[in-house]
Amino acid sequence: MRKNAPESVAPQRTSGNVLEVTGLRRSFGGVPAVDDVSFTLAAGGSLGIVGESGSGKTTTARIVVGLEQADEGRVVVQGRVRTGRARGRAERIARAREVQMVFQDPYLSLDPRTGVQAVLRETLRLHFPDADHASRIAELLDQVGLGTRAADALPRQLSGGQRQRVAIARALAVEPAVMVLDEAVAALDVSVQAQVLNLLADIRERTGIGYLFITHDLGVVRCITDDVIVMRHGRIVEAGPTAEVLADPRHPYTRLLLESVPRPGWDPDRIAAARRAL
């Protein structure tokens, strides 16, 4: 059932959820960045959080991963409540095994002095010290469409799309239940974006991993997500199945986001005026 009131949440599923977020609130300097946000992510599902800069979508993602602490609310991953900061090394590793994050700029998230193979081996040694690392590295490189020739390359020797594939491989290495992708294709050329989105769709189909996709790009949401929530000023203003929300948006802000996509006859001044009027 679709909802578009300010208190709305993404469609709630009664079972099979790998991620349940309830009543998240987070303020900075007294200004709410996330205000009563709730949603669920089914196992193998893909949920988009869309909104402009300052909407609260990235703060929400960082709380889910554990990079930020909520002032109020609850995050449950695979039935386990995440309360406060991780206590000790073992709990940090356990949490990382559940949720991994892929950032917008893969060059900044990769050590420029470390080759691809070494990046993956370091992750595997931490989480699976007794595994056959060589065969798993080969498997991961194949899974993200990188050949063995890329194994010893440094990040600066790779294209932006290849670096993002390495970041995805590193996240997959720990076999997480949830992957949070924060504007993960925003820095890539359009043709490369399509390749990475297709790759992510294939990975989800093969592994059953759940995606939480943070983006301002409704085209990306349309390609990669089953459900979507629209955030503005820290609150959810509309939620539902992606195809329904984009075909028939009920909230004025969602309609504005759709109208903001450049196309023939697009009038940026009219869009700016409409944004100020909301």
Torsion sign, CA atoms 180, 37, 77, 30:
positive
Residue 211: exposure state from Cβ atoms within 10 A (0-12, 13-18, ≥19): buried
pLDDT higher than threshold 90 for residue 276: no
Percent of the chain with pLDDT over 90: 63
Domain boundaries, the chain: 17-277
pLDDT at position 13 is 39
- Per CATH, is 17-277 categorized as 3.40.50.2300? no
The most confident of 38-47, 83-92, 101-110, by mean pLDDT: 38-47
pLDDT higher than threshold 60 for residue 8: no
Q: Which two tokens stand for residue 248?
A: 């028939």
pLDDT at position 18 is 95
Q: Report the pLDDT averaged over residues 144-151.
A: 87
pLDDT at position 115 is 93
pTM of the complete model? 0.86
257 Cβ partners below 8 Å, 6+ apart?
50, 51, 52, 218, 230, 249
pLDDT higher than threshold 80 for residue 153: yes
pLDDT higher than threshold 80 for residue 199: yes
pLDDT at position 123 is 94
Continuous H helices in the chain: 57-65, 88-98, 106-109, 116-127, 133-143, 160-173, 190-207, 218-224, 242-247, 252-259, 268-277
pLDDT at position 109 is 80
What is the rounded distance in angstroms from the CA atom of residue 172 to the CA atom of residue 189?
Answer: 23
The most confident of 13-27, 77-91, 102-116, 201-215, by mean pLDDT: 201-215
pLDDT (tens digit, 9 = 90+) per residue, 165-183? 999 999 999 999 999 999 9
pLDDT category, 266, cuts 50, 70, 90? very low
Q: Report the pLDDT averaged over residues 74-80.
A: 93
pLDDT at position 42 is 95
pLDDT (tens digit, 9 = 90+) per residue, 212-248? 999 988 888 999 999 999 999 999 999 999 999 999 9
Q: Report the pLDDT averaged over residues 172-197.
A: 91
pLDDT category, 21, cuts 50, 70, 90? very high
pLDDT at position 4 is 55
